[in-house]
Amino acid sequence: MSHRHELSLVTGAAAQGSSRAALEAAKAEPRARIHSFHRYFGKLIPAIPRFAIRELTKPGDLVLDPFCGSGTTIVEAVLAGRRAIGLDLNPLAALVTKAKTTPLDIPVALRTRDRVLAAYERDGAKPAGHTPFVPNMDHWFRPEVQRDLAILLGHIRRVRHRDVRDFLLACFSAMLRDVSNADPRHIFPGYSKRLRAIDAAEGREIHVFDRFRTVTDRRARFVADFHASRVDGCRADVFCADSRCIPAQVADVDLIVTNPPYISSIRYLETMKLEMYWLGFVDSREAYFALDRKGTGTERIRVASGGRDIPVAPGGARMPRPPQRGAVRDAPLLPAEGIARQLLDAGQPKMAAVVARYFADMSEALAEMARVLRRGGHLVMKISDSHVRGIDVPTHALLIELAEQNGLRLLEQFTDEIRSRSLLTKRNWYSGMIAHDWILIFRR
């Protein structure tokens, strides 16, 4: 019997123990260096897709991650000899995943990098040319760093070979925090007391030229190692796309492994806002806010003062606000309606809308996942429960209900404890700390 059928036929405690053991074994293995290509917050640990791919697919199968982030699932799928598709609404995520997984002629890429740096040095005495819009630019970057970055970026954009250009742009993005005033130790950009003290006492020497050379050399080695280990013929396709509307060309998927955004957790877009502005993925505050409003789990929701309803269901269905506390509720439109009503009663209309919107978005995403999965295919999801303004949200249980409404049958659920404090996900101040995740395994 093949691995891909064993898990489907074993349920209960025995299956959970087997899967947990398989996950622990995967955690003990070394991780591929390519996973360190880019600082991207909220990453999925490689062991989760690695264990799921081994247990539920065979070589040549198709693996999808509709919230791919920096491409952990995509990397693990290709290394295991599977075809892979990654989707993410964030164009920076799509760029990084593509740069990590696209076959690249490394000598050509480095020779191109050297020509870019030679042109950069040659233009050292010239005006910088176009500098992208970055809010509070002078706060985040010294004047000489702004100028050097603009010159370097201009030469990268002139590279004709698309894959080489994307690799260099991803490296440029990976370097930005190191040459900025944003403390690289912090999740959200901030000019910390630590860096201010260093600058006041002795100053930091920031050399854009040297840093870019170092960053590209290191990542070229990562990419070379990755492609030396991959199986010929197994490719990755990456799209900047919304999980709630999966592109038509995605079909007959054998396995989905994904880590959706968490409710009221990390403000994901904000962690990468400097990179997003410099690369031109957003060119104004309005564009930044518009992209942020599109994301699953966003808190950028407008709630009219005195409003008596909030969105709760796909397609714009709305839930009336109860006239008084303690009033009898109607049957819920979605499993999350009860949580939303608790937040309304607690005087938190915005967070009620955030929670309701999250589960409405996830309902649409789960419907799309079920649509593209082949019959008998599997979905493996890592997710955490939430704590929103003093109210516990059993996210994993609510997502199980939504998944089953969309034709996905739960096979297993078990917790995965986060043992390393460095990996603990620190959320918004009113949302607590994530100490463990849930691993949910479904079959269509």
Say what the pLDDT of residue 409 is. 98
Q: What percent of the chain has pLDDT over 90?
A: 66
pLDDT at 27: 94
Looking at residue 338, its amino acid is: G
Task: Write down the residue that tokens 């699932």 correspond to.
Answer: 73
pLDDT tens-digit readout, 59-92:
999 999 999 999 999 999 999 999 999 999 999 9
Measured distance CA(315)–CA(307) in Å, rounded = 19
Residue 9 confidence (pLDDT): 38
Q: What are phi and psi of 315, to 5 degrees?
A: 85, 5
- pLDDT tens for the chain, 444 residues long, are 344 444 443 444 455 568 989 999 999 999 999 999 998 877 789 999 999 999 999 999 999 999 999 999 999 999 999 999 999 999 999 999 999 999 999 999 999 999 999 998 888 767 667 899 999 999 999 999 999 999 999 999 999 999 999 999 999 999 999 999 999 888 889 999 999 999 998 888 999 999 999 999 999 999 999 999 987 778 899 999 999 999 999 999 999 999 999 886 678 889 999 999 999 999 999 999 999 999 998 888 876 544 444 544 434 434 433 333 333 333 344 668 888 888 888 888 988 989 999 999 999 999 999 999 999 999 999 999 988 888 899 999 999 999 999 999 999 999 987 765 444 444 454 445 567 899 999 999
Report pLDDT for 233. 75
Give the per-residue pLDDT at 5: 40
Phi-psi region of 69 (alpha: psi -120 to 50; beta: other; left: phi over 0): left
Per-residue HEC secondary structure of the chain comes to: CCHHHHHHHCCHHHHHHHHHHHHHHHHCCCCCHHHHCCCCCCCCCCHHHHHHHHHHCCCCCEEEECCCCCCHHHHHHHHCCCEEEEEECCHHHHHHHHHHHCCCCHHHHHHHHHHHHHHHHHCCCCCCCCCCCCCCHHHHCCHHHHHHHHHHHHHHHCCCCHHHHHHHHHHHHHHHHHHCCCCCCCCCCCCCHHHHHHHHHCCCCCCHHHHHHHHHHHHHHHHHHHHHHCCCCCCEEEEECCCCCCCCCCCCEEEEEECCCCCCCCCHHHHCHHHHHHCCCCCCHHHHHHHHHHCCCCCCCCCCCCCCEEECCHHHCEEECCCCCCCCCCCCCCCCHHHHHHHHHCCCHHHHHHHHHHHHHHHHHHHHHHHHEEEEEEEEEEECCEEECCEEECHHHHHHHHHHHCCCEEEEEEEEECCCHHHCEECCCCCCEECEEEEEEEEC
pLDDT at 434: 63
Domains of the chain and any CATH numbers: 3-102+228-443 (3.40.50.150)
User: Tens digits of per-residue pLDDT, 199-257?
Assistant: 998 888 999 999 999 999 999 999 999 999 987 778 899 999 999 999 999 999 999 99
Exposure on the CB side of residue 129, measured as CA atoms within 13 A? 14
- Give the CA dihedral 322, 327, 330, 334, nearest 10 degrees: 60
- Point out which residues pair with 16 in neighbouring strands: none
The pLDDT value given to residue 228: 92
- Name, in order, each residue with C-beta under 8 angstroms of 415's C-beta and a sequence gap of 6 or more: 436, 437, 438, 439
Q: How far apart are CA 122 and CA 210, in angstroms?
A: 15
- β-bridge partners, 237: 85
| Predicted local distance difference test score (pLDDT) of residue 230 | 85
pLDDT, averaged across the chain: 86
